[in-house]
């Protein structure tokens, strides 16, 4: 009897690409539309495109945080950083990759909880009213995203 489940091996860079591919997929577009409708009271002053672009930038930063905290192979992390902007531009030539750096700075601005300043920045970028409610919602959403990514990493053997 096998007591230990063998983890599937996956290249770290490919794992990252798979996650980014999802962010630029029709499936993610559908998720964004549903989220936008469900939270329309918080998002009434922002376009769905702006909301989606900010969310993608924040998610890519959270993906980077997840990899940094869980992967010891620095060469793979540098490879992801090196190809990041080029790969994202291949998915959407109009996507402003500099926004990811803004979320990176926000995350790094806190010694205790980098997600809080990211959520605050997000709510300021996409909303003029209900900022505190939106910030709380996005804060929870970002932590849920981190949790899912951590679980994905835990269930794989990233090489």
17: which residues sit within 8 A by CB, 6+ positions away? Answer: 87
Q: Is 35 contained in some domain?
A: yes
pLDDT tens profile 20-43: 999 999 999 999 999 988 888 888
Look at the chain and report how many structural domains it folds into: 1
**Which tens digits make up the pLDDT trace of 99-147?**
999 999 999 999 999 999 999 999 999 876 778 899 999 999 999 999 9
Please indicate, yes or no, if residue 1 is contained in any of the structural domains: no
Counting DSSP H helices and E strands in the chain, the numbers are 7, 2
What single DSSP character describes residue 92? Answer: -
Nearest of 112, 24, 90, 20 to residue 61 by alpha carbon: 20
72 pLDDT higher than 90:
no
pLDDT > 70 fraction of the chain, expressed in percent and rounded: 96
Q: What is the pLDDT of residue 2?
A: 55
Here the tokens at position 103 are 């979320």
pLDDT at 41: 82
Residue 2 is assigned to a structural domain of this protein: no
16 occurs within a structural domain? yes
Yes or no: say if 97 and 84 are a contact pair by the CB < 8 Å rule: yes
Residue range(s) defining the domain that contains residue 131: 9-158
Asked whether residue 92 is assigned to any structural domain, the reply reads yes
């Amino acid at each position: 009897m096998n007591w230990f489940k063998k983890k599937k091996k996956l290249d770290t860079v490919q794992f990252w690409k798979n996650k980014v591919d999802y962010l630029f997929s029709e499936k993610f577009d559908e998720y964004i539309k549903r989220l936008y409708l469900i939270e329309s009271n918080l998002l009434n002053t922002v376009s769905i495109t702006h909301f989606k672009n900010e969310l993608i930038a924040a998610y890519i930063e959270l993906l980077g945080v997840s990899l940094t905290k869980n992967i010891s192979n620095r060469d793979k992390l540098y490879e992801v950083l090196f190809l990041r902007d080029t790969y994202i531009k291949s998915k959407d030539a109009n996507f402003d990759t500099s926004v990811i750096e803004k979320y990176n700075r926000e995350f790094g601005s806190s010694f205790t909880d980098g997600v809080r300043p990211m959520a605050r920045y997000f709510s300021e970028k996409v909303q003029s009213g209900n900022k505190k409610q939106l910030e709380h919602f996005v804060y929870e959403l970002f932590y849920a995203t981190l949790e899912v990514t951590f679980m994905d990493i835990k269930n794989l053997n990233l090489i």
